[in-house]
Chain A
Protein backbone atom coordinates (compact mmCIF):
# COMPACT_ATOMS: atom_id res chain seq x y z
CA UNK A 1 0.00 0.00 0.00
CA UNK A 2 1.28 3.46 -0.90
CA UNK A 3 0.07 6.87 0.18
CA UNK A 4 0.88 9.95 -1.94
CA UNK A 5 0.40 13.38 -0.42
CA UNK A 6 -0.77 16.15 -2.73
CA UNK A 7 -0.26 19.45 -0.90
CA UNK A 8 -2.57 21.83 -2.75
CA UNK A 9 -3.51 25.42 -1.95
CA UNK A 10 -7.16 24.46 -1.47
CA UNK A 11 -6.75 21.05 0.21
CA UNK A 12 -4.44 18.24 1.19
CA UNK A 13 -5.24 15.15 -0.87
CA UNK A 14 -3.94 11.74 0.20
CA UNK A 15 -4.00 9.26 -2.69
CA UNK A 16 -4.04 5.67 -1.46
CA UNK A 17 -2.90 2.84 -3.70
CA UNK A 18 -3.12 -0.91 -2.98
CA UNK A 19 -4.59 -2.94 -0.13
CA UNK A 20 -5.68 -1.64 3.25
CA UNK A 21 -5.68 -4.47 5.81
CA UNK A 22 -4.32 -5.12 9.30
CA UNK A 23 -0.75 -4.89 8.06
CA UNK A 24 -1.05 -1.63 6.15
CA UNK A 25 -3.84 0.26 7.92
CA UNK A 26 -1.49 1.73 10.57
CA UNK A 27 0.52 3.42 7.81
CA UNK A 28 -2.63 5.02 6.46
CA UNK A 29 -3.47 6.23 9.96
CA UNK A 30 0.02 7.70 10.31
CA UNK A 31 -0.31 9.49 6.97
CA UNK A 32 -3.67 10.96 7.97
CA UNK A 33 -2.29 12.07 11.34
CA UNK A 34 0.67 13.73 9.63
CA UNK A 35 -1.70 15.47 7.23
CA UNK A 36 -3.79 16.75 10.14
CA UNK A 37 -0.70 18.52 11.44
CA UNK A 38 -0.30 20.52 8.26
CA UNK A 39 -3.86 21.33 7.19
CA UNK A 40 -3.92 25.00 8.24
CA UNK A 41 -7.66 25.22 7.74
CA UNK A 42 -7.72 23.28 4.48
CA UNK A 43 -9.93 20.18 4.07
CA UNK A 44 -8.33 16.73 4.00
CA UNK A 45 -9.39 14.45 1.17
CA UNK A 46 -8.57 10.74 1.25
CA UNK A 47 -8.78 9.27 -2.24
CA UNK A 48 -9.46 5.53 -2.21
CA UNK A 49 -10.14 5.06 -5.93
CA UNK A 50 -6.90 3.08 -6.44
CA UNK A 51 -7.46 0.87 -3.40
CA UNK A 52 -7.91 -2.80 -4.31
CA UNK A 53 -8.89 -4.15 -0.89
CA UNK A 54 -10.44 -2.59 2.21
CA UNK A 55 -10.91 -4.73 5.32
CA UNK A 56 -12.17 -3.91 8.81
CA UNK A 57 -8.85 -2.45 10.06
CA UNK A 58 -9.03 0.04 7.20
CA UNK A 59 -12.68 0.83 7.92
CA UNK A 60 -11.74 1.48 11.53
CA UNK A 61 -8.94 3.85 10.50
CA UNK A 62 -11.37 5.81 8.33
CA UNK A 63 -13.94 5.97 11.11
CA UNK A 64 -11.42 6.89 13.82
CA UNK A 65 -9.80 9.52 11.61
CA UNK A 66 -13.17 11.05 10.74
CA UNK A 67 -14.12 11.23 14.40
CA UNK A 68 -10.73 12.63 15.36
CA UNK A 69 -11.07 15.41 12.81
CA UNK A 70 -14.40 16.60 14.11
CA UNK A 71 -14.41 15.72 17.80
CA UNK A 72 -10.79 16.18 18.78
CA UNK A 73 -9.30 18.65 16.40
CA UNK A 74 -12.29 20.80 15.56
CA UNK A 75 -11.74 20.31 11.85
CA UNK A 76 -14.44 19.83 9.31
CA UNK A 77 -15.12 16.22 8.51
CA UNK A 78 -12.75 13.99 6.55
CA UNK A 79 -13.72 13.74 2.86
CA UNK A 80 -13.37 10.26 1.39
CA UNK A 81 -13.39 9.49 -2.32
CA UNK A 82 -14.59 6.07 -3.48
CA UNK A 83 -15.05 4.71 -6.97
CA UNK A 84 -18.31 2.75 -7.35
CA UNK A 85 -16.80 0.02 -9.45
CA UNK A 86 -14.18 -0.98 -6.89
CA UNK A 87 -14.42 -3.49 -4.01
CA UNK A 88 -14.04 -0.54 -1.64
CA UNK A 89 -17.65 0.57 -1.59
CA UNK A 90 -18.91 -2.90 -0.65
CA UNK A 91 -17.43 -3.12 2.89
CA UNK A 92 -18.37 0.50 3.51
CA UNK A 93 -21.97 -0.20 2.60
CA UNK A 94 -22.12 -3.60 4.34
CA UNK A 95 -21.09 -2.02 7.63
CA UNK A 96 -23.39 0.96 7.23
CA UNK A 97 -20.42 3.32 7.24
CA UNK A 98 -21.77 5.02 4.12
CA UNK A 99 -24.20 6.72 6.49
CA UNK A 100 -21.41 7.87 8.79
CA UNK A 101 -18.52 8.80 6.51
CA UNK A 102 -18.62 11.70 4.08
CA UNK A 103 -18.17 10.09 0.66
CA UNK A 104 -17.59 11.49 -2.81
CA UNK A 105 -17.26 9.85 -6.21
CA UNK A 106 -14.28 11.89 -7.33
CA UNK A 107 -11.58 14.20 -5.98
CA UNK A 108 -13.17 17.01 -8.00
CA UNK A 109 -16.49 16.46 -6.25
CA UNK A 110 -14.73 16.30 -2.89
CA UNK A 111 -13.02 19.63 -3.52
CA UNK A 112 -16.24 21.29 -4.66
CA UNK A 113 -17.97 20.03 -1.54
Chain B
Protein backbone atom coordinates (compact mmCIF):
# COMPACT_ATOMS: atom_id res chain seq x y z
CA UNK B 1 0.00 0.00 0.00
CA UNK B 2 1.53 3.34 -0.97
CA UNK B 3 2.21 5.61 1.95
CA UNK B 4 0.20 8.82 2.03
CA UNK B 5 2.53 11.74 2.36
CA UNK B 6 1.19 15.23 2.59
CA UNK B 7 2.44 17.43 -0.23
CA UNK B 8 4.83 20.13 0.95
CA UNK B 9 3.03 23.17 2.35
CA UNK B 10 -0.36 21.45 2.79
CA UNK B 11 -0.38 22.07 6.51
CA UNK B 12 1.33 25.42 6.32
CA UNK B 13 -1.51 27.92 6.62
CA UNK B 14 0.74 30.86 5.92
CA UNK B 15 1.06 29.53 2.39
CA UNK B 16 -2.64 28.75 2.01
CA UNK B 17 -3.96 29.64 -1.40
CA UNK B 18 -6.86 31.92 -0.57
CA UNK B 19 -8.39 31.54 -3.99
CA UNK B 20 -9.13 27.89 -3.31
CA UNK B 21 -12.39 27.14 -1.54
CA UNK B 22 -11.82 24.57 1.22
CA UNK B 23 -13.67 21.27 0.76
CA UNK B 24 -17.30 21.43 1.93
CA UNK B 25 -19.27 18.90 3.91
CA UNK B 26 -22.42 17.66 2.16
CA UNK B 27 -24.62 19.82 4.36
CA UNK B 28 -22.51 22.89 3.73
CA UNK B 29 -22.35 22.07 0.07
CA UNK B 30 -26.13 22.21 -0.25
CA UNK B 31 -26.26 25.44 1.69
CA UNK B 32 -23.40 27.01 -0.23
CA UNK B 33 -25.34 26.13 -3.35
CA UNK B 34 -28.07 28.53 -2.30
CA UNK B 35 -25.62 30.95 -0.68
CA UNK B 36 -23.85 31.63 -3.94
CA UNK B 37 -25.68 34.87 -4.60
CA UNK B 38 -25.44 37.28 -7.47
CA UNK B 39 -25.04 40.90 -6.55
CA UNK B 40 -24.55 43.68 -9.07
CA UNK B 41 -24.63 47.43 -8.72
CA UNK B 42 -24.76 49.07 -12.11
CA UNK B 43 -24.68 52.71 -13.15
CA UNK B 44 -27.80 53.72 -15.04
CA UNK B 45 -26.21 53.76 -18.49
CA UNK B 46 -27.29 52.33 -21.80
CA UNK B 47 -24.57 49.69 -21.46
CA UNK B 48 -25.99 48.46 -18.12
CA UNK B 49 -28.20 45.71 -19.60
CA UNK B 50 -25.22 44.28 -21.46
CA UNK B 51 -23.13 44.10 -18.28
CA UNK B 52 -26.04 42.54 -16.42
CA UNK B 53 -26.48 39.90 -19.12
CA UNK B 54 -22.85 38.95 -19.06
CA UNK B 55 -22.62 38.56 -15.31
CA UNK B 56 -25.95 36.81 -15.04
CA UNK B 57 -24.93 34.40 -17.76
CA UNK B 58 -21.77 33.45 -15.86
CA UNK B 59 -23.64 33.13 -12.58
CA UNK B 60 -26.24 30.84 -14.10
CA UNK B 61 -23.58 28.77 -15.85
CA UNK B 62 -21.88 28.41 -12.47
CA UNK B 63 -25.14 27.00 -11.14
CA UNK B 64 -25.32 24.59 -14.08
CA UNK B 65 -28.53 26.18 -15.31
CA UNK B 66 -29.93 24.59 -18.48
CA UNK B 67 -29.13 26.70 -21.54
CA UNK B 68 -32.69 27.40 -22.70
CA UNK B 69 -33.82 28.53 -19.25
CA UNK B 70 -30.68 30.60 -18.98
CA UNK B 71 -31.58 32.48 -22.16
CA UNK B 72 -35.06 33.23 -20.84
CA UNK B 73 -33.74 34.63 -17.55
CA UNK B 74 -31.08 36.69 -19.29
CA UNK B 75 -33.75 38.16 -21.56
CA UNK B 76 -36.05 38.98 -18.64
CA UNK B 77 -33.33 40.58 -16.51
CA UNK B 78 -32.00 42.53 -19.49
CA UNK B 79 -35.47 43.96 -20.06
CA UNK B 80 -35.86 44.87 -16.39
CA UNK B 81 -32.49 46.62 -16.27
CA UNK B 82 -33.31 48.45 -19.52
CA UNK B 83 -36.55 49.65 -18.01
CA UNK B 84 -34.76 50.90 -14.92
CA UNK B 85 -32.21 52.76 -17.02
CA UNK B 86 -34.60 54.25 -19.56
CA UNK B 87 -37.70 54.87 -17.51
CA UNK B 88 -36.50 54.87 -13.97
CA UNK B 89 -33.78 57.39 -14.65
CA UNK B 90 -34.75 58.88 -18.00
CA UNK B 91 -31.55 57.92 -19.80
CA UNK B 92 -31.97 57.74 -23.55
CA UNK B 93 -30.05 58.40 -26.76
CA UNK B 94 -31.74 61.69 -27.60
CA UNK B 95 -31.88 63.13 -24.10
CA UNK B 96 -29.11 64.84 -22.15
CA UNK B 97 -27.49 61.93 -20.43
CA UNK B 98 -27.30 62.33 -16.73
CA UNK B 99 -25.77 59.49 -14.80
CA UNK B 100 -28.65 58.07 -12.89
CA UNK B 101 -28.57 56.31 -9.57
CA UNK B 102 -27.59 52.69 -9.35
CA UNK B 103 -29.58 49.73 -10.61
CA UNK B 104 -29.16 46.82 -8.24
CA UNK B 105 -29.53 43.25 -9.35
CA UNK B 106 -29.66 40.44 -6.84
CA UNK B 107 -29.97 36.74 -7.54
CA UNK B 108 -30.34 33.62 -5.45
CA UNK B 109 -31.07 29.99 -6.20
CA UNK B 110 -33.82 28.41 -4.14
CA UNK B 111 -34.17 24.66 -3.74
CA UNK B 112 -37.59 23.03 -3.79
CA UNK B 113 -38.48 19.95 -1.69
CA UNK B 114 -38.30 17.71 -4.76
CA UNK B 115 -34.78 18.86 -5.48
CA UNK B 116 -35.64 21.14 -8.37
CA UNK B 117 -34.39 24.69 -8.26
CA UNK B 118 -35.58 28.16 -9.11
CA UNK B 119 -33.65 31.38 -9.51
CA UNK B 120 -35.09 34.52 -7.98
CA UNK B 121 -33.77 37.71 -9.56
CA UNK B 122 -34.53 41.14 -8.16
CA UNK B 123 -33.91 44.39 -10.02
CA UNK B 124 -34.18 47.59 -7.98
CA UNK B 125 -33.92 51.22 -9.02
CA UNK B 126 -34.68 54.47 -7.25
CA UNK B 127 -36.00 56.31 -10.28
CA UNK B 128 -39.56 57.20 -11.15
CA UNK B 129 -41.18 54.41 -13.10
CA UNK B 130 -43.75 55.34 -15.68
CA UNK B 131 -46.94 53.24 -15.64
CA UNK B 132 -47.23 50.75 -18.52
CA UNK B 133 -49.79 52.90 -20.29
CA UNK B 134 -47.17 55.64 -20.65
CA UNK B 135 -44.65 53.32 -22.29
CA UNK B 136 -43.25 54.56 -25.55
CA UNK B 137 -43.29 52.34 -28.60
CA UNK B 138 -39.94 50.75 -27.93
CA UNK B 139 -41.07 49.37 -24.60
CA UNK B 140 -44.39 47.92 -25.64
CA UNK B 141 -43.03 44.42 -25.74
CA UNK B 142 -40.88 44.66 -22.62
CA UNK B 143 -43.29 43.65 -19.85
CA UNK B 144 -45.12 40.87 -21.72
CA UNK B 145 -41.75 39.51 -22.78
CA UNK B 146 -40.46 39.48 -19.21
CA UNK B 147 -43.61 37.81 -18.02
CA UNK B 148 -43.39 35.06 -20.63
CA UNK B 149 -39.80 34.26 -19.63
CA UNK B 150 -40.45 33.49 -15.97
CA UNK B 151 -42.82 31.70 -13.64
CA UNK B 152 -43.89 34.86 -11.83
CA UNK B 153 -43.17 38.54 -12.32
CA UNK B 154 -43.97 41.23 -9.79
CA UNK B 155 -43.41 44.93 -10.38
CA UNK B 156 -43.62 47.24 -7.39
CA UNK B 157 -43.38 50.90 -8.39
CA UNK B 158 -43.54 53.90 -6.11
CA UNK B 159 -42.29 57.47 -6.29
CA UNK B 160 -39.17 56.27 -4.57
CA UNK B 161 -38.29 53.61 -7.07
CA UNK B 162 -39.19 50.28 -8.55
CA UNK B 163 -38.54 46.69 -7.55
CA UNK B 164 -38.97 43.93 -10.09
CA UNK B 165 -38.92 40.35 -8.84
CA UNK B 166 -38.51 37.57 -11.37
CA UNK B 167 -39.05 34.01 -10.19
CA UNK B 168 -37.83 31.49 -12.72
CA UNK B 169 -39.38 28.26 -13.83
CA UNK B 170 -38.13 25.23 -11.94
CA UNK B 171 -35.12 23.40 -13.34
CA UNK B 172 -33.66 20.01 -12.40
CA UNK B 173 -30.97 19.74 -9.72
CA UNK B 174 -27.45 20.07 -11.11
CA UNK B 175 -26.27 16.92 -12.84
Contacts and interface: CB of A to CB of B under 8 A. Distances in A.
Interface of A: 19, 21-23, 25-26, 53, 55-57, 59-60, 64, 87, 90-91, 94-95, 97
B121 to A, nearest CB: 16
B142 A56 contact: yes
Q: Secondary structure of the A side of the interface?
A: helix
Contacts of A64: 137
Contact of A90 (B49, B71, B79, B141): B71
A87 B50 CA distance: 15
Interface in B27-85: 46-47, 49-50, 53, 71-72, 74-75, 78-79, 82, 85
Given A94-B148, A94-B149, A56 B50 contact: no
Interface string B113-153: 00000000000000000000000011111101100110000
Contact of A55 (B46, B78, B144): B78
24 contacts: A19-B53, A21-B49, A21-B50, A21-B78, A22-B49, A22-B138, A23-B49, A25-B138, A53-B75, A55-B75, A56-B139, A56-B142, A57-B138, A59-B141, A59-B145, A60-B137, A60-B140, A87-B71, A87-B74, A91-B145, A94-B145, A94-B149, A95-B144, A97-B141
B164 to A, nearest CB: 14
Nearest to A57: B138
A23 B50 contact: yes
A23 B137 CA distance: 16
Contacts, number: 63
B163 to A, nearest CB: 20
A21 B139 CA distance: 12
A56 B148 contact: no
Contact of B79 (A23, A25, A55): A55
A25 B79 CA distance: 14
A87 B69 CA distance: 10
A97 B74 CA distance: 20
B93 A53 contact: no
A57 B74 CA distance: 15
A63 to B, nearest CB: 8
B104 interface: no
B86 to A, nearest CB: 6
